[in-house]
């Protein structure tokens, strides 16, 4: 079980934490999901906890950010040697990023399999499809809605209701 559940203002759902396990739930897609669909997605996230993906994923993310920051810093070494170091680090960064992406995709596939084994492949597939579509729709529309209200100099009271009801 997670140590805490964190509600987010966006559409993301995931697990994080090395010492404290957190389940992150974006509230923007919740009104569109049925209880069974939401449970299906939770099975997927709990499969990540079971496989300790929250620990490995958090560590890989922190390492990736450190490698990226090192590459950026190496660009400021004002010598030929600095340029060579920067190029080698940049190549390493791309290889590291590609390998972590491949690892991540494998972990997602395994979590999908575990969730599907509990709720059924069709149920999980439908839930995942609906979550992805509503999440994508929200992410694409929300900036336009904010700009629409800002141009009219109007206050946005509930961004989620505005996204469901406003046609921009």
Q: List pLDDT tens digits, range 73-119.
A: 999 988 999 899 999 999 999 999 899 989 989 999 999 999 999 99
SS3 label, residue 158: coil
pTM: 0.75
Sign of CA dihedral 39, 41, 42, 46: positive
Distance CA 110, CA 147 (A): 40
DSSP string, 94-134: HHHHHHHHHHHHHHHHHHHHHHHHHH-HHHHHHHHHHHHHH
């Amino acid at each position: 079980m997670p140590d805490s559940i964190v509600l987010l203002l966006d559409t993301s759902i995931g697990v994080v934490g090395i010492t404290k396990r957190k389940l992150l739930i974006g509230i923007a897609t919740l009104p569109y999901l049925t209880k069974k669909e939401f449970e299906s997605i939770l099975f997927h996230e709990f499969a990540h906890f079971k496989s300790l993906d929250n620990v490995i994923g958090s560590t890989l993310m922190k390492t990736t950010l450190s490698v990226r920051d090192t590459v950026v810093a190496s660009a400021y070494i004002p010598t030929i040697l600095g340029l060579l170091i920067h190029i080698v680090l940049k190549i390493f960064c791309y290889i590291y990023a590609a390998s972590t992406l491949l690892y991540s995709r494998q972990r997602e596939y395994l979590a999908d399999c575990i969730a599907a084994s509990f709720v059924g492949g069709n149920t999980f597939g439908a839930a995942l499809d609906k979550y992805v579509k509503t999440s994508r729709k929200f992410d694409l529309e929300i900036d336009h809605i904010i700009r629409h209200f800002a141009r009219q100099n109007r206050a946005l009271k509930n961004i989620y209701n505005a996204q469901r009801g406003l046609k921009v």
